[in-house]
Amino acid sequence: MNTKLIGLKEFRLHLSDYTKQVESGKVRLIVLKKNKPVLEINPITTKEFTLENLRKETAEAREQYKRGEVYTAEEVEKELGL
């Protein structure tokens, strides 16, 4: 995979083109503001995206459990009309 360094203004002006390049999986972008890196843009697969969402949802569920925000099986069945 190639890495391209581009300025923030260039990135804004050609966002659509750079998005297509990253989606191809062949390019990684480093966006610079005043010659300092501010963004790194990498391609992501559907699997990686799904796993990241699962991690976030699992962390939130654990926090809810710690706060006592849980339901019994009976409460779930009643809510679902089972």
CA 34 to chain centre: 26
Tokens of 24: 């191809």
Note the pLDDT of residue 1: 83
Which residues, 6+ apart, have CB-to-CB distance to 61 below 8 Å? none
pTM for the full model? 0.62
Distance CA 3, CA 76 (A): 50
**pLDDT tens digits for range 16-74:** 999 999 998 889 999 999 999 999 999 988 999 999 999 999 999 999 999 999 998 99
Note the pLDDT of residue 25: 87
Distance CA 57, CA 31 (A): 30
Q: Which residue has the tokens 């992501």?
A: 44
